[in-house]
Structure 1
Amino acid sequence: MRKEFIVFQFIRHPKDFWSGVMFMFFGLAAVVIGQDYPMGTAGRMGPAYFPIVLGGLLSLIGLATTLRALWLRGEAIQRFSVRDLALILFAVFLFGLLVRNAGIVAAVAALVMVSAYASDKFHFRASLILSVGAILFCVLVFVKALGLPLPVFGPWLAWLGR
């Protein structure tokens, strides 16, 4: 038995345990950050109301998930891949870089294709179909329905929009 896991023998479901800890961390961070703003009431909400209430609910979900991990058995945490993490972070960075200059079509396509490539189960055809679906969804919902000022084809690809 390895030394580093002796301390954590009471954890029966490591994935749920660490997910719960992460939920509690982000929930409590929202509550702490929200303390700097006026709370208001349920009828007249202040700027702190929404983040504090959601942060509190997220913390409770995290607590329940963490406690559940102490009773129920589950699978162990698998390998941690730095390559996959780097690809997903790069995909998000690429989205942010492309969304204004190349448009939402190119940004969503890059996000889906690069982050899908991080999977062991990557298939180009399936990722391409998912990419087209995500592009249609984002254009219809965010640009057309909600009217967000996002270019479908940005200045770099303006010739495609003609």
Structure 2
Amino acid sequence: MAETTGHLPGGATAASSARNLTGALVILLLAFAPQLVELLIALAGLIVPLSGRGPLQVLSAHSGALTQAIPTLVQQAAGGSRIALSSDMLLAVIYTTPLLALALFTRLARIRAPQDYYGGVALMALALFALWASSDLQGMRGFSFGPGIAPRMLGVLLLGLGAVVATIGVIADGPDIMPYHWRGPLFVFLAILTFAVAIRPLGLVIAGLASFLISALGSSETRWGETLVVGIALTIGCALLFPYVLGLPMPLVPRFLVP
């Protein structure tokens, strides 16, 4: 009886509903991930002195932002004034609120291709986070050219791509969620972290090439001769593009080599 229940329509509906609930909870947790991280840092500050807001300040600021961000945005837009929101409100508007809507949709929708749908949602969450994290960079508002223009363009493109993939997961039948492999995402994350830490002291040339080679460790099929050639070519291209073409103040070589 237990073996045949999953093949009955009622059993399939129950399994789909449970899967949707789990997916909605995961998206809900993802929606509040930045706030939870800041709260954990604030709690750690009670033990080890750290600069920043205390736990009560974090809770008060983010709860107020969630309730006031949308009304404030509508009021400023209706009044014709320049939109100026705090960082907490921008987080609520750009990142948290769209993911809350996705969590609600996930709970109610009939997802026909879970792998496509949740993959698209992951891309959308990454794009929304990038748009929020770079919202204070010049070029992110209006059409002014600056360091924020690239994150804005890539974030919008990734958001649109994720929305298309998620939509396919709703309207077309497809595969269920496959087993997850951590190697690729792990080394890509380490590559991004390496670039963020090394760009200032070591410069774009070393940090960029090192990040590319670390990300190549994410695949067991990497051919290191070809990878090294591609990495050097991309590094040269970035060294010409960012400092000279875009005019971004990015160091090219380590600090100790600069007179």
- Say yes or no: TM over 0.5: yes
| SS class of match (1:102) | helix
1:119 CA drift (Å)? 1.2
CA contact (8 A) 1:142 1:148 kept: yes
In the superposition, the TM-score normalised over structure 1's length comes to 0.64
Structure 2 contact 115–178 (Cα < 8 Å) conserved = no
Aligned residues: 139
Judge conservation of contact 1:112–1:130 (CA < 8 Å) in 2.
no
2:226 counterpart letter in structure 1: A
Q: Does 1:85 align with 2:94?
A: no
Q: CA deviation at 1:154?
A: 1.5
Give the TM-score normalised by structure 2: 0.43
| Cα distance in 2 for residues equivalent to 1:32 and 1:97 | 21
The match for 2:15 is 6
Matches within 5 A, 1:1-162: 6-7=15-16, 8=19, 11-23=111-123, 25=125, 58=159, 62-156=162-256, 158=257
| Mean CA deviation greater in 101-110 or 120-129 | 120-129
Query: Cα deviations across residues 13-63 of structure 1 (Å, max 9, x unaligned)?
Result: 333201332355467779999xxxxxxxx89xxxxxxx8xx87x94x7655
Q: Secondary structure at the match of 1:120?
A: coil
Distance 2:162 2:197 in 1: 33
Higher relative contact order (CA 8 A, sep 6+): 1
In structure 2, do the counterparts of structure 1 residues 150 and 19 end up closer, same or farther at CA, with 3 Å as the change threshold?
A: same
Q: 1:125 to 1:29 in 2, by over 3 A?
A: closer
Which stretch has the larger CA shift, 12-21 or 127-136? 12-21
Deviates more, 1:83-92 or 1:104-113: 83-92
Alpha-carbon distance change, 81 to 64 in structure 1, aligned in 2, over 3 angstroms: closer
Offset, 1:140: 1.0
Gap regions ≥5 residues in structure 2: 21-109, 134-141, 144-151
Q: Secondary structure at the match of 1:107?
A: helix
Decide which structure has the larger Cα Rg and report it. Answer: 2
Q: Which runs of 5+ in 1 are unaligned?
A: 34-41, 44-50
Q: CA deviation at 1:107?
A: 0.6
- Aligned-pair identity in percent equals 24
Shift of the 63–101 alpha-carbon distance from structure 1 to 2, 3 Å rule, reads closer
Q: CA offset at residue 110 of structure 1? A: 0.8
- Corresponding letter in the other structure for 2:250: L
Do 1:12 and 1:71's aligned partners in 2 also have CA atoms closer than 8 Å? yes
Richer in helix (by share): 2
Alignment partners' CA distance in 1, 2:252 and 2:187: 24
SS in 2 for 1:103: helix
